[in-house]
Amino acid sequence: MLYDNLNLSPKRFGLSLMPHLLELSSPVTPDGKTALEIGVPIGKMLSSVKITRVIQEWGVMCRTDDGLEGFVHVSTGT
């Protein structure tokens, strides 16, 4: 999946080869059965996450205690 990030200077494009994007399916929770959007609903508060990567002017990649990985955009992080 190709996407653009036109808010950066210079302009940049990105490419993702994540399996759930290529297959057009939802990622699943560690149990392998529950769709991630059901297992971790939007707005759920987590008591602890580990930041695994900082992407300047874009956001952070993080991992929860139970092994879920995700991205938090800078506009949504608090």
Domain that holds residue 54: 2-73
Domain assignment present for residue 44? The answer is yes
All residue ranges of the chain with pLDDT < 70 are 1-9, 11-15, 17, 20-22, 24-25, 76-78
- Domain assignment present for residue 8? The answer is yes
> Tokens at residue 1, please?
């999946």
Q: Which helix (H) or strand (E) holds 54?
A: strand 49-55
At residue 8, the pLDDT reads 65
Residue 1: its pLDDT value, please?
Answer: 45
Q: Is residue 40 part of a domain?
A: yes
In a domain, 30, yes or no: yes
Give a yes or no: residue 24 inside a domain: yes
Which tokens hold the place of 42? 């939007």
pLDDT in the model for residue 7: 67
With H, G, I as helix, E, B as strand and everything else as coil, classify residue 37.
helix
How many structural domains compose the chain? 1
Domain-located, residue 45:
yes
Q: Is residue 41 part of a domain?
A: yes
Is residue 19 domain-resident?
Answer: yes
Q: Are 48 and 35 in contact (CB under 8 A)?
A: no
d(CA 72, CA 78): 10
Residue 3 has what pLDDT?
A: 53
